[in-house]
Amino acid sequence: MADLGNLKNTAEIVRKHQFNFQKKFGQNFLIDSNILDKIIESAKLTKEDCVLEIGPGIGTMTQYLAEEAGEVVAVEIDKNLIPILEETLSTYPNVTIMNEDILKVDINRIVQEHNGGRPVKVVANLPYYITTPIIMALFESHVPLQSVTIMVQKEMADRMQVGPGTKEYGALSLAVQYYAKPEIIARVPASCFMPRPNVDSTVIRLTRYEKPPVDVEDEAYLFAVIRASFNQRRKTLANGLTNAGNLGVNRQMVEETLEEMGLSAMIRGEALTLEQFAELSNRLGGKRV
Ligand code: SAM
């Protein structure tokens, strides 16, 4: 099968199958072989690896993955792409195509069935409308992962790797940095896709920590605290936490805890580091009723 990482071969497949791009599924197919090579190289694949690809599209990146990895499981929501994938990937016996919604399928089960529960590598040019829920699903449901190498909207990649005090810093930054080390791999202009998206993109690699960098007594509670802290961005942290309703704490407990930590009652969530959120959640968790 011809390499799909260029405009000519992609346009030919699209025309041959009379495929209609669906905006609602975030369909922008990669047509740049240099970017594809860069993604594959940064995922550091070996024949020992099982790769989970989210949204294979017409199978462009899947071909590259199948060449380097031992096995590839590609989960695609759009049933109209399945016959195309069966054609473009027909020469790769190490690829399994699944017609599923990645947010509904049991990813842990896929990893169990295809890799005996050992950590997989996720590599994907993500559908941008669900970048955050996909990342949260992978991390929060504790899918065994080595790394996640993904193309995302530039602004999302920035959010994943910034620290406190910037306007991009928020719940996504903290969630990603609790579970993984983020590294920007490449900036990718809109001209590398068909059709062209309205935004620029970035390839980012998230390497899963064996153990989170902070000690947290109740992980679910940490994330509830983080969400509450950024829910009302323009309000103080104390207000966000008191108003959340699901943390089991009142204003007095919150203010007392901030004081114990040497923080102002007027501080905002965006000023706290991951270490401070961990301490805040451990302390509040101990007081909650
Ligand atoms: N991997 C291809 C490439 O790089 O050319 C296509 C990437 S395109 C940005 C995103 C792909 O994700 C599309 O094929 C789209 O149909 C698929 N997709 C969108 N939502 C999905 C979901 N909930 N579950 C699985 N796949 C999804």
d(CA 76, CA 55): 5
CATH code of the domain containing 113: 3.40.50.150
For the CA of 55, the nearest atom of ligand 1: 12
| Residue ranges lining ligand 1, Cβ < 6 Å | 25-30, 54-57, 60-61, 75-78, 81, 101-103, 125, 127, 130
> Quick check: 146 and 172 in contact, CB under 8 A?
no
Q: Which amino acid is at 208?
A: R
Nearest CA to ligand 1 atom 6: 57
65 and 164 inside one domain? yes
- Which band of pLDDT confidence, cut at 50, 70 and 90, is reported for residue 207? very high
How many independent structural domains does the chain possess?
2
For the record, the structure tokens of 175 come out as 């969630």
Would you call 183 helix, strand, or coil by DSSP? strand
121 and 258 inside one domain? no
For the CA of 29, the nearest atom of ligand 1: 5
Residue 73 sits at the vertex; the CA angle it makes with 72 and 79, to the nearest 5 degrees, is: 130
198 and 231 inside one domain? no
Domain edge (last residue) among 174, 208, 242 = 208
Q: What is the pLDDT of residue 232?
A: 79
Q: Are strands 50-54 and 120-125 parallel, antiparallel or unpaired?
A: parallel
| 289 pLDDT more than 90 | no
- For residue 170, which phi and psi values (nearest 5 degrees)? -170, -160
93 and 132 inside one domain? yes
CATH code of the domain containing 281: 1.10.8.100
* 214 domain residue, yes or no: no
Q: What is the pLDDT of residue 234?
A: 80
| 233 pLDDT more than 80 | no
- pLDDT, tens digit, 9 for 90 and up, residues 154-192: 999 999 999 999 999 999 999 999 999 999 999 999 999
124 and 64 inside one domain? yes
180 and 51 inside one domain? yes
- Which band of pLDDT confidence, cut at 50, 70 and 90, is reported for residue 141? confident
* 21 domain residue, yes or no: yes
85 and 171 inside one domain? yes
Place of tokens 């970048």: 131
d(CA 285, CA 246): 12
What is the mean predicted confidence (pLDDT) over 137-165?
95
Q: What is the mean pLDDT of the chain?
A: 96
- Which band of pLDDT confidence, cut at 50, 70 and 90, is reported for residue 231? confident
d(CA 223, CA 225): 5
140 and 171 inside one domain? yes
Q: What is the pLDDT of residue 239?
A: 94
* 261 domain residue, yes or no: yes
Q: What is the pLDDT of residue 25?
A: 97
Cβ neighbors of 142 (< 8 A, separation 6 or more) are 108
Domain edge (last residue) among 187, 208, 229 = 208
Domain that holds residue 183: 7-208
CA of 247 to the centre of ligand 1 (A): 36
| 263 pLDDT more than 90 | yes
* 240 domain residue, yes or no: yes
Residue 90: count other Cβ atoms within 10 Å of its Cβ: 11
Residue 50 sits at the vertex; the CA angle it makes with 22 and 87, to the nearest 5 degrees, is: 45
| 112 pLDDT more than 90 | yes
- Which band of pLDDT confidence, cut at 50, 70 and 90, is reported for residue 287? very high
Q: Omega into 195 within 30° of 0, i.e. cis?
A: yes
Q: What is the pLDDT of residue 21?
A: 97
Give pTM, 2 decimals: 0.94
64 and 187 inside one domain? yes
- pLDDT, tens digit, 9 for 90 and up, residues 69-104: 999 999 999 999 999 999 999 999 999 999 999 999
* Backbone region of residue 109 per phi and psi (left: phi > 0; alpha: psi in -120 to 50; beta: other values): alpha
CA of 151 to the centre of ligand 1 (A): 11
